[in-house]
Amino acid sequence: MSRGLLLSVCLLAVCAATTHVVVSADEPKTVKVIAAESTSKTYLLRLKKDDSGVVIRSAAELVAHSAKPDDAKDPAVQKAMAAELAKFFKVKSIDWNKQMVVVVEGHDTRGEFGAIKFDPPEIKGKVLQVFWKQEHRVTRASHLGVPMGFALVERFEGEVVFFPRITTNSLDMALMLIPSGKFTMGSPKGEEDRHDEEAHHEVEITRPFYMGKHEVTVGQFKAFVKDANDKTEGERDGKGGRAFDGKEFVQKPVFTWKNLHFTQTDDHPVVVVSWNDAVAFCEWLSKKEGRTYRLPTEAEWEYACRAGTKTRFHTGDKDDDLQLAGNTADASLKAKWKDVFWAMSWDDGFAFTAPVGQFKANAFGLYDMHGNAWEWCSDWYAEGYYPKSPVQDPQGPANGKERVTRGGAWSTQPKFCRAAFRDRHEPGYRSDCVGFRVVLAESR
């Protein structure tokens, strides 16, 4: 079987050691990537959909996933395809007894050249988790297709699951993979500005999930309103929301998600949305894409915000450390609202909301987890919930009067932007300080 090997490939991993072993599912270790390549032209295999993956453990399986699957049992075709793939990997041959190939298909790069990069796969329980991300290049190449990535790895006998590090949905919303793991939720007794309800307790997030890289934007919410022909609670009941009117923070019918005292573009976080409005957005997006979108639980939110850190903010413990991480009450706001006595002395350049992604991301690649807009969580609020909450995947109380918000906003001071701080409002509350971010619930 003859196919011209493509020259326009991107080397994403150099050859590692050449000694290989069969890895059992019980060994808690990573699986070595021996070689990896990526191409944006059709090469050997065709996968079923974007962001999909397949594992190949034999030359017969390689042919079965090719454009000519009927030739899978032909030894000559098997040998030819395996040899071509080995040449693609720049290795002498593929030892199917000790090695296997994982293949992923990325997503449309809108005319830009894209490449797939693999992290070392990780064994968790009896499952091999393959992590990958799609990198983009500035070179315009509209004739190229969806990028595909090939990795030659140590053989693993067991289930293989593929996890893109970042995925993009129909709203061009980027979602970051948040791995499963354990963390200490709440704040230690010595933390500055600590509240007693922030009792330190161990929590385990047992399943990976995807969280919006940014808060939901005005443009994304606008698409929902148009497609669903919907209105927010503040528009339906004619009461509007609470917002800054140039002098004070008041509720007026005129204040809605699309009409504020300050200017919002499509790239700003949507605000003046209630908890119910946020849930309606998630339900619409879930139906539109056939996947489950929802608000994060309070535990998921704090775990994602901390991203492995234990400090007040993901950038450190001092108030000044927050300058790098978020848009909060500062000199810019003070210049517009003279009564904001709690504003910090620094100037981040944004008096009110900032376009998403203007500050430093945390280790999970999430922006604006501190400041810009408070973010609704799915949980009911209860002051004494922490000591009695389950260790694994706490969902919050079964009922209540208020829903949790997290992260602080453009109008708040650092102590309210701490990773552990909990605020709450009734589900129908809306203001120019409160927005939301979504979670894509299913893991891949």
Mean pLDDT, 10 residues at a time, the chain of 444 residues: 30 30 48 91 70 88 86 91 94 96 81 80 89 74 74 94 90 93 96 97 95 98 97 97 95 97 97 98 96 97 98 97 96 95 96 97 97 98 97 97 98 98 98 98 60
Cα–Cα distance for residue pair 188/397, rounded to 1 Å = 23
Q: Are 444 and 51 in contact (CB under 8 A)?
A: yes
Quick one: pLDDT at residue 10? 31
Domain ranges for the chain, please list them: 9-164, 181-440
Percent helix, strand, coil in the chain (nearest 5)? 20, 30, 55
Report in angstroms the alpha-carbon separations of 248 from 251, 299, 339, 353. Answer: 10, 33, 8, 16
Q: What's the pTM?
A: 0.85
Cα–Cα distance for residue pair 206/294, rounded to 1 Å = 17
Collapsed DSSP state (helix, strand, coil) of residue 201: strand
Q: Is 387 left (phi over 0), alpha (psi -120 to 50) or beta?
A: alpha
181-440: what fold? Answer: paralog of FGE (formylglycine-generating enzyme) (3.90.1580)
**What's the maximum distance between 2 C-alpha atoms anywhere in the chain?**
81
pLDDT digits (tens, 9 = 90+) for 204-236: 999 999 999 999 999 999 999 999 999 999 999
Cα–Cα distance for residue pair 98/110, rounded to 1 Å = 38
Quick one: pLDDT at residue 142? 56
Cα–chain center distance at 64 = 34
Quick one: pLDDT at residue 147? 84
pLDDT digits (tens, 9 = 90+) for 162-188: 999 998 899 999 999 999 999 999 999
- Helices (H), strands (E): how many in the chain? 7, 22
Quick one: pLDDT at residue 344? 97
